[in-house]
Amino acid sequence: MNKFLMSGNSIIGEAAIRAGCRFYAGYPITPQNELTEYMAEHMRNAEGGIFIQSESEIAAINMIAGASAAGARVMTSSSGPGISLKQEGISSMAACELPGVIVNIMRGGPGLGNIRPSQGDYFQATRGGGHGDYRTIVFGPATCQELADLTMDAFDLADKYRTPVMILADGMMGQMMEPVIFKKPKPRNYSENFMLRGAGDGKSKFIRGLILDAIDMEEHNWKLARKYSVIGENEIRYEEHNIDKSELVIVAYGTAARIAKGAIKRLREHNKINVGLFRPITLWPFPELQLRALSRKIKNFLVFEMSTGQMLEDVRLALQGYATVWFHGRPGGAVPTPAELANVVARYYDKKD
């Protein structure tokens, strides 16, 4: 297998095309422009590949919704402010059960914020984000290799569950370069029955999100909820790192988890203390039971995020008061060094039970 040195944004694009994505629509926004540009350059060489620079984020998400209904594998990407605009369409795709992949290369917020790496969109991503009662599967990759692997998996899961899937990375992940190997994509498994391609000789079909009857709408909501609970049972992913001999475990995802690994190494070498890492890879569904199981032997957790504390709430819910939960955060595009985090962890380590 060939190894490539590529930036995170380009890796997502390449993985998507290899996974059979043939429709991409997007609007320029930093720090994800390289992904849009990669798709512009490479979609035209992919058989049947379609690239559209849309007039807005709203148009982009609705274009991919239409293309998805027509049967294509579809993707759009953006960063915080643009993802906010896409929420109408994400909600609509969830309601209409249309598969698609949405990439959020997070930047500092709220509002226009800045263009530096941040993790402030965790709530928006993991709580559905748009209006109504729905969830999206959310991946939080922490390496360029994971960007490649999870992008491909995102398309498979979107098809399998007929639901939008979000890749939640940040400006650091999008801009950094690492060597990557592209795995062989699985063949697409998606029924023609779900595609809207003209009635042909058969009965006409329709796809709708508006269901005026309350009981019918309730049933549709429960149908989606049942699907989400199946996803919760089958699709949880996480990584445990250096847990065994540790009395304190950091909980972090994405770039923050990379920093945490650096801090853990430093703490072992310089401070001679053992600290573990629990890294959710699926942010929704959140590895709640897996984290709770850890609290049988570990009583001290430190949530580290590049935000003022969002995943923190999921960690507290998961641990249900069985362990102490501390928090360290750097919002607004400030990225702490492993040394800074190691100092913070060492302070908490002295306070642990």
Partner 1 sequence: MTKTIFKRPKSLKENIFHYCPGCGHSIAHRLIAEVIDEMEIRDVTIGVPPAGCAVLAYNYFDVDMIEAPHGRGPAMATGIKRVLPDRVVLSYQGDGDLAAIGIAESLHAANRGENITVIFINNAVYGMTGGQMAPTTMLEQKTTTTPAGRHKSLDGYPVKVCELFSQLKGVVYAQRCTLTSPAQVNKTKKAIKKAFQCQKDGLGFSLVEILSPCPTNWKMSPVDACKWIDEIMSKEFPLGVFKDDSTTTKKDREAV
**2 near partner 1 (CB under 8 A):** no
Q: How far apart are CA 80 and CA 58, in angstroms?
A: 13
Q: How far apart are CA 331 and CA 140, in angstroms?
A: 17
Q: How far apart are CA 164 and CA 74, in angstroms?
A: 10
Of residues 89 through 118, those in contact with partner 1 by CB under 8 A are: 89, 92, 96
Closer to partner 1 by CB, 198 or 321: give it: 198
**Contacts for 79 with CB less than 8 Å, ≥ 6 apart:** 29, 30, 31, 32, 104, 105, 106, 107, 115, 171
Closer to partner 1 by CB, 100 or 336: give it: 100
The piece of 85-93, 268-276, 281-289, 300-308 that touches partner 1 (CB under 8 A) is 85-93
Q: Which own/partner pairs from 130-133 qualify as long-range (CB within 8 Å, at least 24 positions apart)?
A: 130/87, 130/88, 130/89, 130/90, 130/91, 130/92, 130/94, 131/87, 131/88, 131/91, 132/91, 132/94, 132/95, 133/221, 133/224, 133/225
Helix (H) or strand (E) holding 277: strand 275-280
Closer to partner 1 by CB, 1 or 215: give it: 215
**16 near partner 1 (CB under 8 A):** no
Of residues 56 through 75, those in contact with partner 1 by CB under 8 A are: 56, 58-60, 62-72, 74
Report DSSP state, residue 111: T
Closer to partner 1 by CB, 21 or 259: give it: 21
Closer to partner 1 by CB, 49 or 332: give it: 49
Of 6, 25, 137, 231, which lies in the binding site for partner 1, with binding defined by CB under 8 A?
25
**Contacts for 167 with CB less than 8 Å, ≥ 6 apart:** 12, 101, 102, 103, 104, 139, 141, 147, 150, 151, 154
Site string for partner 1, 182-221 (x = CB under 8 A): --------------xxxxxx--xxxxxxx-----------
Which pairing describes strands 137-139 and 300-305: parallel, antiparallel, or unpaired? unpaired
The piece of 28-36, 54-62, 158-166, 328-336 that touches partner 1 (CB under 8 A) is 54-62
3-state secondary structure of 177: strand
Closer to partner 1 by CB, 55 or 218: give it: 55
Q: Count how many residues are written for the chain.
A: 353
The minimum distance between CB 107 and partner 1, in angstroms, equals 23
Closer to partner 1 by CB, 25 or 252: give it: 25
**23 near partner 1 (CB under 8 A):** yes
Of 50, 176, 243, 346, which lies in the binding site for partner 1, with binding defined by CB under 8 A?
50
Give me the residues that bind partner 1 (CB under 8 A), please.
Answer: 22-23, 25, 50, 52, 54-56, 58-60, 62-72, 74, 88-89, 92, 96, 196-201, 204-210
